[in-house]
Structure 1
Amino acid sequence: MSVGLGINIVKSIKSFVMPTFGKFINKAFSDKYLLFTNVGISITLSGLGDVLEQHYEMATDQIEKWDHKRTMNMSLSGTSVGVVCHYWYKYLDKIMPGYTIKMVLKKIVVDQFIGSPICISTFFVTIGWLEGSSKQELMQEMKHKAWKLYVAEWIIWPPAQFINFYLLPTKFRVLFDNTVSLGYDVYTSHVKHDIQIDKSSKRES
């Protein structure tokens, strides 16, 4: 590649690609489209988290092949969770406005004690509905698995949410949440489909 061609490519990126990308971001995170953007992000990363977890399970001989339906269900769970997170963050910022350290710490506490259980419950209810689980099966699964996710949330989210609540405007909350939670989504998929927990649950039922 000649120097002149390289310079022309850089100029094209600066003059066309960057402004176009900037307009897209501004539109996607505007009030008009923010809900759709947040739900889209949640769907995409929830599915990606399951894909990563399943490939790990295949590599370690826990499963034989990729379960496409499982990934689809995990992705679709991002719809309800994305909606809940979208409105939860807007509500939280409305009742607790401001970026002081004291206010941020209050938000973190409320988010952990109220927001996290709501999101975890939403996830299990959505997956249970998609899988056709009975009410008894759903309650049994939540009893044995939801607490593991909640414990993990106390490790991951307080420091992450400090950054989220202290530095970012409301419209970027779900984006940051989902970016951080990609690793957590892998763990969520692991807990949801943990065969050992399922066996233990069946013995007790």
Structure 2
Amino acid sequence: MALRVLWRRMTNAMDRFHQIAFSPKYLLFTNIGISVGLSMVGDTMEQSYERLIGELPDWNRTRTIRMGISGLTVGLVCHYWYQHLDYLFPKRTYKVVVVKILLDQFICSPFYIAVFFLTMAILEDNTWEELEQEIREKALVLYAAEWTVWPLAQFINFLLIKPQYRVFYDNTISLGYDIYTSQVKYRKKPEPKDNS
């Protein structure tokens, strides 16, 4: 009996939290929190792998915090981008979904990648030249990965997911992409071979 009461209270509390977190008043904070948290989880998972294979001696907390901050900026972009798309194209027809996917891939994806690299450059105190170099070397790799993951994921997102859950859905799919983003961002250049 006590277990049943405890269960009911717990489910009621979770339901109240859900209603508040995904309400219009708090949705921005929820989306940012999810983006920050999962960006940090993705980087931690990538660093765990790098430590396992011997590429990284210890967990770099600063790197994880920076990836989390990049999640904040990207969370803002996604939150307002999805609201704007839903305002411009409120229907859920196949034609509208395809238009949203194309706009997402051709406008938001490059912008999202640029915001990511700009945020990281600011956090790492990089010069403008270093930022340009990193974008030249790594942005196209991430953009190509975007085309392999997101068209199908966004088809489901725009067709089936309620608008208030779009960023949440996006971030659950993005966890794997965040791992890959961390890998691309922090990939070491191969050492030049000594031909002497």
How far residue 10 of structure 1 moved from its aligned partner, in angstroms, is 3.5
Give the drift of 1:27: 0.4
Equivalent of residue 55 in structure 1, options 17, 41, 48: 48
Q: Distance in 2 between matches of 1:81 and 1:190?
A: 17
Mark the runs of 5 or more structure 2 residues left unpaired by the alignment: none
Unmatched tracts of structure 1, length 5 or more? 1-6, 201-205
How far is 1:12 from its partner?
A: 2.1
Give the distance between the partners of 1:79 and 1:95, measured in 2 at CA.
24
Question: Is 1:98 aligned to residue 91 of structure 2?
Answer: yes
Identity %: 47
Paired with 1:174 and 1:65, the residues of 2 have a C-alpha distance of 32
Of the three residues 33, 36, 39, the one matched with 1:43 is 36
Deviations 1:130-175 (A, max 9, x none): 0000111001101100111100010000111111000112111100
Which letter does structure 1 place at the counterpart of 2:117? F
1:194 paired residue number: 187
- How far did 1:19 drift? 1.2
Residue 136 in 1 paired to residue 129 in 2?
yes
The residue type paired with residue 175 of structure 2 is L
Distance 2:85 2:98 in 1: 12
Equivalent position of 1:185 in the other structure: 178
Which residue does the alignment assign to 1:3?
A: none
Structure 1 runs (4+) greater than 2 angstroms displaced: none
Structure 1 residues 29-178: aligned runs within 5 Å: 29-178=22-171
Give deviations 1:56-110, integer Å, cap 9, x for gaps.
Answer: 0000011111111111100111111110110000001111111111111111111
Q: TM-score when scaled to structure 1?
A: 0.91
TM-aligned CA deviation for residue 178 of structure 1: 0.3
- The alignment's TM-score, normalised by the length of structure 2, stands at 0.95
Q: 2: distance between equivalents of 1:18 and 1:157? A: 33
Structure 2 match to 1:8: 2
CA RMSD of aligned residues (A): 1.2
Aligned length: 192
Structure with the larger helix share:
1
What is the CA-CA distance between 1:129 and the residue it aligns to? 0.3
SS at match of 1:195: coil
Q: Give the AA of the match of 2:96.
A: M
